[in-house]
A and B are shown apart, each in its own frame.
Chain A
Amino acid sequence: MILKLIKTETKKLKRTPIWLAFGFMPIIPALLGTLNYLGNIEILESEWYSLWTQHTLFTDYFFLPIMVGIYCSYIMRLEENCHNWNKLLSMPISKHKIFIAKLACVGLMILLSEIWIGLLFILSGKLIGMNAPLPLRELIIWCLFGTLGGIVMASLQLTISLFIRSFALPVAIALCGGLSGLVFLAKDMGHIWPYSLMAYGMNSNSPQELNETGYVPFVITCILYIAVFTLLGSNILNRKDM
């Protein structure tokens, strides 16, 4: 049933401008980050790692949170239009499955975005003639854990979008969340705040070092947050007049 619901959700997104944004959005930080890297090549000495910081500098704190906010707002807006909630909630499907399907759909978009960011990172490095070997293992970890952190943010944003029936306001909250994430990361509490988990997973601040607390607590924290927000979101769907 869940798979069918996810398929339905992806069908709803067919030919929407979301995909254009997904395609174009990571190209800009890749292009400008590479130019910035080339402009400051004498200071940025860690080759692939320095290039990664340039690619993810603003992306993790400002633009990916906003993008996740827009993905979630859009997915909820589809149901708010033309009283689609009434039709959807009257079907014999449990509410938490509907929420999980929506979350899986956003998660898929985040994963594709991360893969695209990774591919652009490799392409940029090759084009500017990096000599050092590509840190492929780290890159896969950054992208996968970035996705996991992004899903935490998405589950929270979907819950917020259920509360606030506006497209713009949850996106503004996502931006504030992204900024608060930066503060939490600066205070060494990036591993506990839902809005900083994506940047924490992607290791955009210090890509040479592995996270001090290790990845197992990170994964556990993410799963716990996802479970809590999914339960909360499903409960809202159950109780709130949609």
Chain B
Amino acid sequence: MRKLLKCEYLKTNRRHIILTALFVTLIACVWAFYDSNKAEDAAEFMLQNGWHVILYQFPLINSIFFPLLSVIIASRLCDLEHKGSCLKLICTLTPRGRLYDAKLLYGMFITQSCVILFWAATIVYGMLCGFRESFPITLYLLYLLFTLVPTAAVYCFQHALSMNFKNPAVPFFTGILGEFVGLFAMFLPQYPLLRRVVIWAYYGTLQFMGLYGYTKETRYTYTYLEHMGYDWAAFGILIALTIGIYLIGKTIFCRKEL
């Protein structure tokens, strides 16, 4: 497996894949940390509750950028082989399943590193802002876990599509459609089934911080943030879905004609 991973690195060398991933993460950072709300009461609320506000707001940003990052990385890694018709050659040198796993691990490493980088950047941003409350480390570790696992699920799905379809438009469109449904599902809590069936929606499903009491008239006067509890059942379903997607994708790839 080590050799295969090294091969993956060599194949992607000078193709700017890591640079692309960093670029998308940078855009996510700019988007997330750009403070558009200049109102005094909003700034004061942010200073008082900043760490918790981030936990409430950032799952939305994660659900936009990390699925897209997964689509791009999976597509670029698999397109290398499809474009050069290399799969026939490689699969005579190594078992198909191992190639599938190596590519998955390599791509997953890139995407998960970006998730961790964004998480670390969020903490640095919070410290620079000087939020008055103490840093809730346990909540942030759980937030990291609840971002890493949905990203891994989405990456597994995209990898399965990119490996099995020569045409890169198919995984792209599926990924974008899924991302769209996932994003909207965050605004439709009245449809819990939608939030549990669609893997892209899990960024919102696993969100555990809620904001209450905000109205146009009173604004932040009665606004407060409250812990909504952890949805461990949804977490379990997501892990089961990820394993299922991995197994189905790998089986189809191992059986298909190259």
Contacts and interface: CB of A to CB of B under 8 A. Distances in A.
Interface stretch (A14-22, A199-207, A208-216): A14-22
B191 interface: yes
User: Would you call the interface of chain B mostly helix, strand, loop, or mixed?
Assistant: helix
Nearest to B76: A168
A74 B169 contact: yes
B36 A186 contact: yes
B166 to A, nearest CB: 10
Sorting the interface of chain B by its residue count into under 10, 10 to 19, 20 to 34 or 35 or more gives: 20 to 34
Contacts of B36: 186
A36 B187 contact: yes
Contact of B72 (A32, A39, A74, A172): A172
A21 B169 contact: yes
A21 B180 CA distance: 13
Contacts of B170: 17
Contacts of B177: 21, 24-25, 28
B75 interface: yes
Nearest to A70: B172
B176 A172 contact: no
Nearest to B175: A66
20 contacts: A21-B176, A25-B173, A25-B176, A25-B177, A28-B177, A29-B184, A32-B187, A36-B184, A39-B188, A58-B184, A63-B180, A66-B176, A77-B168, A81-B83, A166-B79, A167-B75, A167-B169, A168-B20, A169-B16, A179-B31
Interface of A: 16-18, 20-21, 24-25, 28-29, 32-33, 35-36, 39, 58, 62-63, 66-67, 70, 74, 77, 81, 166-169, 171-172, 175-176, 179, 183, 186
Interface of B: 16, 20, 23-24, 27, 31, 34, 36, 64, 68, 71-72, 75-76, 79, 83, 167-170, 172-173, 176-177, 180-181, 183-185, 187-188, 190-191
